[in-house]
């Protein structure tokens, strides 16, 4: 095999969670493990549930029922359980003094919660929700920043069988309102505000505007985070601390059917009505627990952090997965590069984190501003690195691997989505890695790469698909059955087409090349933005870049690139020519950028994804639509 960057240590090969699973089932190699888990899904998912130690109030009678087709498969039929019983109750009973949650504020303030303390707060809030008339199946909006109360709120909803609907705290009133209306939320949990980069950010005024005239929403619980003066409506608004103090810390956990909804997670896009993905207690719990245990090797005593917001899939994912293992979750308020560019590395050091997950875009940001910080910071407790959100460029991947992981930590580069609350592709720490790879299928995920004709292909770019059902797939889009089928099952019958471009190399390593709808087609040749951006980002002057296609009378589309330099003063025509040549060297003369625009920043979501659709619309002078998912919309004001 060529170009391997990491080999598993003896510790991973012998004592990792996945190695122990393999020994238990007499599986001799990574390839055999993937083959068995994807070809024999009945065996794998039953063996997985048993090995995880999922606790059932009532055992399931049938593993799955796909009599209505792949799209509507039900899992763990007849079984009853609750996410909270598995992620909180048992640890609070058996090891109440173990650390469940660490939080760090924008100003460096910290708070720790043991499993016993977290359990008490969850019980109090659960009683408050019950007292407000919440019943099983009622939706509750959670519009909170990354503060401890957001974890308490999520778990309290699960505990009583309510449906948690977390919303990104940076969304504006209209984006929040759409989600509250669609979900028919009865209560909204929010905050007066939060702190970011040393400044007070108001949140409740947006919430107040969003819930105006929403007749079904009866109550708003408000966390006092900043102390800012906010409007209060008598009979509707209640301070968190008053609600908690008036309710006891004695509350049972409601067993629910395995198919009972646990979460509504809305996809974030800049156009169109958001899609409400319905996730259930059984499927979400089993698949998330599988990924944290086997792919990330999380164990009791580990300290896990993913740079995310609770409004994105990775927020609930890490809460459920980390707490299921009885490990410690770390969350933080604020920005990754404030008050100093080394904030992330200082958090890793000070809180002795064993796992840190981050998007490629955030690494490019931190690499630009903290080139020397990561290497100077002691991070000896780190065992595993994680990433998701978008394709890597090789230069940034190597920087993360060498400067943060010190060449000893595997990068578990996963890819799935809100609709899956899990991963189609994922590395495991028992097999070698190449730069930027996703290694192969997630366990139990029968994925493939199809060409336009629906044929399996290797060594060429095609569509990432899944050919068999899996427990954590969304149970459709809320109130939009046909849109769900059209989105994932309209290209090929009974095949989930995920919308990503993927390829598998000669050694069997899988790579993603971006979203199919971001694909640029120039003179009949298809190229993904990630390929272009990788060529640009390899230049020593480039911090990050984004590539889009725009209409061209002759070639169909032409390539426009937006480049952020490490030093803006280094712009020159010579550099522009060098960057064009860099793309030609990698992709050929056909793909030469028609224009390279030097910009100070790229528009991104809070989770670090570059919003290429907004770049394209701005460049073409089209209406931008809803930009509420963009954290820095001002970046669009300064395009060349």
pLDDT digits (tens, 9 = 90+) for 492-513: 999 999 999 999 999 999 999 8
| Distance (Å, whole) CA 533 – CA 544 | 8
Specify whether the CB–CB gap between 532 and 610 falls below 8 A. Answer: no
CB atoms within 10 A of CB 202: 14
Nearest to 157 by CA among 14, 297, 310, 289: 310
Say how far apart CA 73 and CA 64 lie, in whole Å. Answer: 7
Whether the pLDDT of residue 570 is over 50: the answer is yes
Q: List phi, psi (to 5°) of 77.
A: -65, 130
> What pLDDT was estimated at residue 374?
85
pLDDT in tens, 19-38: 999 999 999 999 999 999 99
d(CA 195, CA 186): 27
**462-466 and 496-504 as β-strands: parallel, antiparallel, unpaired?**
antiparallel
Cβ pair 81, 161 in contact under 8 A: no
Q: How far apart are CA 278 and CA 574, in angstroms?
A: 52
pLDDT in tens, 401-416: 999 999 999 999 999 9
pLDDT above 90: percentage of residues in the chain: 79
CB contact at 8 A, 390 and 358? no
Q: 610-617: long-range contacts (C-beta < 8 A, 24 or more apart)?
A: 610/361, 610/390, 610/544, 610/546, 611/270, 612/518, 612/529, 612/546, 612/547, 612/548, 613/269, 613/270, 613/271, 613/518, 614/270, 615/546, 615/548, 615/562, 615/639, 616/548, 616/549, 616/550
Mean pLDDT value across residues 70-75:
98
pLDDT at residue 270, as a whole number: 36
- Kindly indicate the confidence band of residue 488, based on its pLDDT and cuts at 50, 70 and 90: very high
Sign of CA dihedral 10, 11, 14, 19: negative
**Which pLDDT tens digit goes with each residue over 430-444?**
999 999 999 999 999
Asked whether 383 and 354 are in contact (CB, 8 A), the reply is yes
Q: Identify which of 285, 325, 287, 290 has the alpha carbon closest to the alpha carbon of residue 428.
A: 290
Alpha-carbon distance of 583 to 522, in angstroms, equals 14
For the segment 478-500, the average pLDDT, to the nearest whole number, is 95
**Mean pLDDT across the chain, nearest whole number?**
93
Local structure of residue 403 (DSSP, 8 states): I
Please indicate whether residue 474 or residue 614 has the higher confidence score (pLDDT): 474
Ordered DSSP codes for 186-241: SEEEEESEEEETTEEEE-HHHHHHHTTT-TT--EEEEE-SS-------TTTEEEHH
Name the pTM for this structure: 0.88
Tokens, residue 534: 């990788």
Among residues 256, 317, 361, 623, the alpha carbon closest in space to that of 472 is found at: 317
Three-state secondary structure of 608-637: CCECHHHHHHHHHCCCCCCCCCCCCHHHHH
Q: According to the per-residue pLDDT averaged within each range, which of 267-276, 296-305, 560-569, 631-640 is highest?
A: 296-305
410 and 433 in contact (C-beta within 8 Å)? yes
The per-residue pLDDT for range 53-69, each reduced to its tens digit, is 999 999 999 999 999 99
Tell me if 421 sits within 8 A of 288, measured CB to CB: yes
- Three-state SS letters, 327-371: CEEEEECCCCCCCCCCHHHHHHHHCCCCEEEECHHHHHHHHHHCC
Is residue 274 within 8 Å of residue 183, measured between CB atoms?
no
Q: What is the pLDDT of residue 567?
A: 87
Quick: pLDDT tens for 243-286. Answer: 999 999 999 999 999 999 999 999 854 345 789 999 999 999 99
Q: Mention every residue, 6+ apart, whose C-beta is less than 8 A from residue 130.
A: 160, 251
Of 171-185, 315-329, 507-521, the poorest mean pLDDT is in 507-521
**Per-residue model confidence as pLDDT tens digits over 383-394:** 999 999 788 889
Q: Which of these CATH numbers, 3.40.640.10, 3.30.300.30, 3.30.420.130, 3.90.1150.10, describes 523-638?
A: 3.30.300.30
8 A C-beta contact, residue 615 and residue 548: yes
Residue 331 has pLDDT above 70, yes or no: yes
The reported pLDDT for the residue numbered 640 is 55
Question: Which range, of 17-26, 126-135, 218-227, 619-628, averages the lowest pLDDT?
Answer: 619-628
List, for residues 2-12, the tens digit of each pLDDT value. 899 999 999 99
Which residue bears the tokens 């992981």?
405
Give the sheet arrangement for strand 139-143, strand by strand: 237-239, 219-223, 187-191, 139-143, 163-166, 261-266, 276-280
String of DSSP letters for 523-567: TTEEE-HHHHHHHHHTSTTEEEEEEEEEEETTTEEEEEEEEEESS
Percent of the chain exceeding pLDDT 70 equals 98
What integer is the mean pLDDT of 568-597?
Answer: 89
pLDDT at residue 34 in the model: 98
């Amino acid at each position: 095999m060529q170009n391997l960057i990491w080999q598993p240590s003896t510790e991973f090969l012998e004592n990792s969670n996945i190695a122990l699973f393999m020994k238990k089932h007499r599986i001799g190699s990574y390839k055999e493990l993937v083959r068995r888990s994807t070809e024999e899904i009945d065996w794998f998912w039953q063996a997985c549930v048993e090995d995880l130690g999922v606790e059932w109030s009532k055992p399931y009678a049938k593993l799955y029922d796909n009599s209505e087709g792949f799209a509507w498969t039900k899992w763990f039929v007849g079984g009853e359980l609750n996410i909270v019983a598995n992620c909180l109750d048992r640890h609070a009973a058996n090891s109440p003094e173990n650390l469940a949650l660490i939080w760090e504020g924008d100003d460096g303030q910290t708070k720790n919660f043991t499993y016993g303390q977290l359990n008490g707060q969850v019980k109090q809030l659960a009683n408050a929700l019950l007292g407000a008339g919440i019943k099983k199946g009622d939706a509750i909006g959670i519009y909170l920043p990354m503060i401890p109360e957001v974890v308490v709120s999520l778990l309290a909803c699960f505990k009583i069988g309510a449906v948690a609907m977390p919303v990104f705290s940076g969304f504006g009133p209209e984006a929040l309102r759409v989600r509250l209306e669609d979900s028919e939320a009865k209560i909204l949990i929010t905050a007066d505000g939060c702190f970011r980069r040393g400044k007070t950010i108001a949140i409740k005024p947006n919430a107040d505007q969003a819930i105006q005239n929403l007749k079904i929403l009866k109550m708003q619980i408000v966390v006092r985070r900043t102390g800012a003066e906010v409007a209060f409506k008598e009979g509707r608004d209640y301070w968190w601390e008053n609600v908690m103090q008036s309710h006891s810390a004695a509350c049972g956990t409601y067993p629910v059917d395995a198919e009972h909804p646990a979460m509504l997670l809305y996809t974030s896009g800049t156009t169109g009505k958001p899609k409400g993905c319905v996730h259930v207690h059984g499927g979400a719990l089993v698949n998330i627990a599988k990924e944290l245990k086997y792919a990330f090797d999380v164990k009791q005593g580990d300290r896990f952090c993913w740079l995310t917001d609770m409004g994105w899939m990775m927020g609930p994912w890490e809460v459920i997965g980390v707490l299921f293992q009885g490990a410690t979750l770390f969350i933080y308020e604020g920005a990754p590069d404030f008050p100093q560019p080394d904030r992330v590395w200082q958090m890793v050091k000070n809180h002795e984190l064993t796992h840190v997950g981050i998007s490629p875009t955030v690494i490019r940001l931190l690499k630009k501003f903290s080139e020397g910080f990561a290497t100077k910071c002691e991070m000896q407790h780190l065992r595993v690195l994680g990433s998701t959100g978008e394709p890597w460029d090789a230069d940034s991947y190597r920087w993360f691997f060498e400067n943060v992981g010190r060449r000893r930590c595997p990068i578990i580069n996963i890819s799935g989505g809100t609709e899956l609350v899990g991963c189609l592709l994922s590395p495991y720490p028992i097999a070698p890695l190449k730069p930027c790879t996703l290694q192969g299928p997630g366990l139990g995920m029968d994925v493939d790469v199809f060409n336009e004709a629906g044929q399996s292909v290797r060594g060429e770019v095609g569509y990432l698909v899944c050919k068999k059902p899996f427990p954590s797939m969304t149970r459709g889009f809320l109130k939009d059955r046909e849109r769900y089928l059209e989105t994932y099952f309209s290209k090929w019958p009974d095949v989930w087409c995920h919308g990503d471009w993927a390829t598998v190399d000669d050694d069997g390593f899988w790579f993603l090349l971006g979203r199919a709808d971001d694909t640029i087609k120039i003179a009949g040749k298809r190229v993904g933005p990630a390929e272009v951006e990788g060529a640009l980002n390899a230049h020593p002057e480039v911090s990050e870049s984004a590539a889009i296609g725009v209409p061209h009378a002759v070639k169909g589309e032409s390539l426009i690139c937006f480049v952020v330099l490490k030093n803006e003063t280094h712009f020159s025509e010579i550099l522009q020519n060098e960057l064009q040549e860099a793309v030609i060297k990698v992709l050929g003369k056909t793909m030469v950028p028609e224009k390279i625009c030097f910009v100070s920043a790229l528009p991104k979501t809070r989770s670090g994804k570059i919003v290429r659709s907004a770049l394209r619309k701005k460049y073409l002078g089209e209406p931008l639509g809803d930009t509420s998912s963009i954290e820095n919309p001002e970046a669009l004001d300064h395009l060349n």
